[in-house]
C-alpha cells in the first residue's frame, strides 16, 4: 500500500467512485433496454427508503447482508475467498430450523440462543470440508465452495421434499411452521410508534447483526487469533516463519466465516419465514462478496455496504412491480459491477485518484512509520492462493 492517499480517501472516496461507476454503467444498461434510468433510480430510492414499509424491508435485507458480508470479510482477512455463502447460509437455515422444530423452547429469548448455535454450527460445518481440503490438500477453495453451493441446494431439495415435509400440507416443500412461542419480536412489536406495519420482516436479529459486527471487530483487531489471521493473510511465508500454523488459520477463519454466514438464518428463517423453505438464502450469500469488498472487509464498512445493498434489493423489488419489463436481476448487474470495480478494476480508479492527490499535495509529507494493516489488506498487491 502506498501512502499516496489519505485514509479517508481510501475508505470513503474510492468506494464511492466505484459505486458511482457501477451505477452509471447499470444506468447505461437500463437505457439500452429502452427504459429511463433516472425514473428507475427514483423508483428504486423511493421504494427502498421512502416509507416505513420500505425501511422495514431494506433493514431486513441489510441484516442478511451484514451476516454474509462479515463472513466473507473474515475469510478475506486470511486471504481466503469464501464464495460458498449460499450453501453455508442454507445449511445454517437447516440447523436453525431443526433446533426450533425439535427442541421445546419456551421463549424466544432462549430460542434465539439455541437457534443461533444451531445455525452457526451447521454453517460452519458446511464450510469445514472445503476449508479442510484447502488446508490439507490444496484444493482450490473457490471451486470447492461453489460446488458445495450446488450440493447444498440438492441436499435442501431432498430434505425438504422427502424428509422434513409436512404430510398433507399441500405438498409444498417446506417444514412445519415454528411454534408461536419462538416468534421473534419484529419492528412493529418493539417500536410501535415508528409506523412499521404488523407484518414488517425487520426483527430483533438486526441487533444480533450489529453485535456480530462488534464481535468481528474485536476478533480481527483485538485478539491474538485475529492478529494471526491477518498476518497469515498478509504474508503466508512470514506467518509460517512466525510459528503460525496455516492449517489452523485456514480452518478457524473458514469456520468463523461459515458460522457468521449461517447466522443469517436467524433473520430470514426464524425471523421472517418462521419455517424452512426451499431457498431461504435468495442470493444473500453472493451479495456478501460485494458487501465485503465494498466495505473493505471492515465491520463498519460491511455495515454501511450492507445497508446500501439492502436498499438496492428492496428498491429492486419495487422496480419489478413499478416498471414494465424490468426485472430485479438489474440488482445482480449492479452487484456484479460493484464487485468488478471495487475488487478487480480497483487500480483503474485508484491510480488516477492517487496521481491527483500527489499533484495536489504541496510538500511531501513524511511517510507514516509503519502502515498498519488496511482493513481488507487486499488493496495493493493482489496475490491469489493457487
Partner 1 sequence: MDYAGLIQILDSALRLSTPLLFACLAGLFSERAGVFDIGLEGKILASAFLSAAMAAYTGNVWLGMFAGILASLMLATIHGMASITFRGNQLISGVAINFLASGLTVVIGEAWFGLGGRTPQLEGAARFGELTLPFADAIRGIPFIGPIYADLLSGHSILVYVALLCVPLTWWILSRTRFGLRLRAVGENPAAVDTAGVSVVGLRFAAVMICGLLCGLAGAYLATALSAGFVKEMSAGRGFIALAALIFAKWRPWHALGATFLFGLLEALGNRFQSLELLGITIPTQFMQALPYILTVVILAGFVGRAIPPRAGGEPYVKER
> From the CB of 159, what's the least distance to partner 1, in Å?
9
Candidates 155, 176, 225, 353; binder of partner 1 (CB under 8 A) is 155
Residue 23 burial by Cβ neighbours in a 10 Å radius (0-12, 13-18, 19+): middle
Which of 5, 131, 212, 331 is the binder for partner 1 (CB under 8 A)? 331
Q: Give the residue, chosen from 146, 219, 240, 373, that forms a contact with partner 1 under the rule CB under 8 A.
A: 146
Instruction: Report the DSSP beta bridge partners of residue 203.
Output: 186
- Residue 250 near residue 134 (C-beta atoms within 8 A): yes
Q: How far apart are CA 302 and CA 292, in angstroms?
A: 6
Report the alpha-carbon distance of residue 338 to residue 42 in Å, rounded: 20
Distances from the Cα of 317 to the Cαs of 268, 290, 332, 369, in angstroms? 17, 19, 12, 48
CB of 202 to partner 1, least distance (A): 26
Binding to partner 1 (CB under 8 A) within 34-93 occurs at 34-35, 81, 83
From candidates 329, 355, 358, 361, binder to partner 1 by CB under 8 A: 329
Between 32 and 366, name the residue whose CB sits nearer to partner 1: 32
d(CA 193, CA 215): 30
Which position among 9, 128, 332, 373 is part of the footprint of partner 1 (CB under 8 A)? 332
- Dihedral, CA atoms, 311, 314, 320, 326, nearest 10 degrees? 30
Least distance CB 49 / partner 1 (angstroms): 23
Site string for partner 1, 308-327 (x = CB under 8 A): -----------------xxx
Residue showing cell 404488523 = 198
Which ranges of 133-186 does DSSP label H, i.e. alpha helix? 141-158
| Closest residue by Cα to residue 261 from 53, 28, 90, 45 | 90
Shortest separation between residue 132's beta carbon and partner 1, angstroms: 9
Nearest to residue 62, comparing CAs of 221, 271, 274?
271
Helix (H) or strand (E) holding 95: helix 85-102
Nearer to partner 1, 239 or 338 (CB): 338
345 lies in the site for partner 1, by CB under 8 A: yes
Least Å distance, CB 307 to partner 1, is 20
Q: How far is the CB of 294 from partner 1 (least distance, A)?
A: 12
Q: From 41-49, 225-233, 335-343, 365-373, give the range in contact with partner 1 by CB under 8 A.
A: 335-343
Could you give the CA distance from residue 83 to residue 315 in angstroms, rounded to a whole number? 25
Site for partner 1 contains 279 (CB under 8 A):
no
- Whose Cβ is closer to partner 1: residue 181's or residue 347's? 347
Does residue 107 bind partner 1 (CB under 8 A)?
Answer: no
Give the CA count within 13 Å in the CB-facing half-sphere of 193. 0
237 binds partner 1 (CB under 8 A): no
Binding site for partner 1 (CB under 8 A): 29, 33-35, 81, 83, 129-130, 133, 137-140, 142-144, 146-148, 150-151, 154-155, 157-158, 162, 286, 289, 293, 325-327, 329-337, 339-340, 343-348, 378, 382-384, 386
Amino acid at each position: 500500500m502506498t501512502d499516496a492517499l489519505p485514509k479517508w480517501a481510501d475508505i470513503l472516496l474510492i468506494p464511492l467512485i466505484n459505486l458511482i461507476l457501477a451505477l452509471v454503467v447499470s444506468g447505461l444498461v437500463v437505457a439500452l433496454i429502452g427504459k429511463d434510468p433516472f425514473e428507475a433510480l427514483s423508483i428504486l430510492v423511493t421504494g427502498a427508503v421512502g416509507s416505513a414499509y420500505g425501511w422495514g424491508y431494506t433493514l431486513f435485507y441489510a441484516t442478511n447482508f451484514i451476516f454474509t458480508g462479515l463472513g466473507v470479510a473474515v475469510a478475506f482477512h486470511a486471504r481466503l475467498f469464501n464464495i460458498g455463502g449460499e450453501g453455508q447460509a442454507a445449511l445454517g437455515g437447516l440447523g436453525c430450523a431443526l433446533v426450533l422444530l425439535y427442541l421445546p423452547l419456551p421463549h424466544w429469548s432462549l430460542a434465539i440462543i439455541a437457534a443461533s448455535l444451531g445455525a452457526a454450527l451447521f454453517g460452519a460445518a458446511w464450510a469445514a470440508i472445503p476449508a479442510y481440503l484447502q488446508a490439507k490438500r490444496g484444493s482450490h477453495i473457490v471451486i470447492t465452495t461453489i460446488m458445495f453451493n450446488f450440493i447444498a441446494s440438492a441436499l435442501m431439495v431432498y430434505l425438504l421434499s422427502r424428509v422434513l415435509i409436512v404430510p398433507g400440507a399441500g405438498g409444498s416443500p417446506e417444514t412445519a411452521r415454528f411454534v408461536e412461542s419462538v416468534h421473534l419480536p419484529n419492528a412493529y412489536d418493539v417500536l410501535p410508534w415508528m409506523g412499521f406495519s404488523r407484518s414488517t420482516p425487520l426483527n430483533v436479529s438486526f441487533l444480533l447483526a450489529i453485535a456480530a459486527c462488534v464481535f468481528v471487530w474485536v476478533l480481527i483487531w483485538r485478539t491474538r487469533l485475529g492478529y494471526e489471521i491477518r498476518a497469515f493473510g498478509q504474508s503466508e511465508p512470514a506467518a509460517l516463519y512466525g510459528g503460525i500454523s496455516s492449517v489452523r488459520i485456514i480452518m478457524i477463519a473458514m469456520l468463523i466465516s461459515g458460522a457468521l454466514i449461517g447466522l443469517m438464518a436467524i433473520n430470514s428463517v426464524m425471523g421472517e419465514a418462521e419455517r424452512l423453505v426451499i431457498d431461504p438464502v435468495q442470493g444473500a450469500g453472493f451479495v456478501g462478496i460485494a458487501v465485503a469488498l465494498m466495505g473493505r472487509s471492515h465491520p463498519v464498512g460491511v455495515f454501511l455496504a450492507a445497508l446500501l445493498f439492502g436498499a438496492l434489493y428492496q428498491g429492486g423489488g419495487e422496480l419489478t412491480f413499478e416498471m414494465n419489463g424490468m426485472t430485479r436481476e438489474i440488482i445482480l448487474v449492479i452487484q456484479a459491477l460493484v464487485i468488478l470495480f471495487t475488487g478487480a478494476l480497483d487500480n483503474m480508479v485508484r491510480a488516477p485518484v492517487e496521481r491527483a492527490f500527489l499533484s495536489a499535495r504541496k510538500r511531501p509529507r513524511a511517510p507514516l512509520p509503519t502502515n498498519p494493516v488496511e482493513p481488507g489488506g487486499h488493496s495493493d498487491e493482489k496475490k491469489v492462493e493457487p
